[in-house]
Amino acid sequence: MFALYKKEVQSYFCSPFAYVVSALFLMVFSLSFINGISNMDSNVLKFSFSNIFYNSFFYFIFLIPLLTMRTFAEERKSKTETIWLSAPITIPQVVFAKFFAVATVFLLMMVLSLFFPLIALWHGSVIGSSLVCGYLGFFLWSLVCIAIGVMMSALTDNPILAAVFGEAAMIAVIFLDNFTQSDLIQSLPVVAKIFGWFSTETRYGAFSQGLFSLADLMFFITITLVVLIWTIIIIEKRRWSRG
């Protein structure tokens, strides 16, 4: 599994792909950072970085499908999928290796963004708990989207379609959060409670306030694992259909 994970990570950085996506990520973060400073009423640089992640998340999820679209779709398209399907490695190991590879690339992108809190700390002050929890919550939220993107890539042999499907699914996740807050759903307490439990935006809210919640942590991990299990089932089904 580690060999496949290492190969997947190297495949990103042996091409301009990861660097282009990282540059776009930092550009979005930079614009949000500058906008956050320009909207301050005080000359003291002190604000929550969690708000930057929250306000920019819609733009970030346009980048995640670019990282996940090739995980399985590219190999199906080039007919190299049979190599690991017939190799002495289990499907769960393949799925998790590819997932952790994308997660590692995204984590490195987030590490690059630590440059901005250092700037804020140099010229003002940073709320430590909000910064740490904000980064943690955003990464957990992104893991759910990465898992969704990997699953969408497993459904098609066209990387472009995988990116489109992944983007649509991630937008649907955000739409679910907004739909939960609608008057229609709020008028139905039981339904609102059920929808609210699956709301990733609500779960991130606690982290954005600098509060660590074990329940929210387990929520993100559980949703991520469930999506990855669905991916394993999809690939296993295709494997057995080939005989």
171 or 79: whose pLDDT is higher? Answer: 171
Distance CA 121, CA 102 (A): 30
Alpha helix locations (H) across 71-114? 73-77, 81-85, 91-112
Q: Select from 202, 190, 65, 198 the least CA-distant residue to 137.
A: 202
Question: 104 is written with which tokens?
Answer: 């590692």
Give residue-wise pLDDT tens across range 29-48.
Answer: 888 877 766 665 554 444 56
Total domains, the chain: 1
Count Cα atoms within 13 angstroms, Cβ side, for 9. Answer: 16
136 or 203: whose pLDDT is higher? Answer: 136
Structural domain range at position 108: 2-241
Question: 75 is written with which tokens?
Answer: 């190999």
> Is residue 121 exposed (0-12), middle (13-18) or buried (19+ Cβ within 10 Å)?
middle
Confidence grade of residue 99 (pLDDT, cut at 50, 70, 90): very high
Taking only Cα atoms into account, the Rg of the chain, rounded to an integer number of angstroms, comes to: 19
Interior/surface letters 66-87, b for 16+ CB within 10 angstroms, e for the rest: bbbbbbbbbbbeeeebeebeee
Give residue-wise pLDDT tens across range 165-185.
Answer: 999 998 888 777 777 776 766
Look up the pTM and report it: 0.88
DSSP 183: H
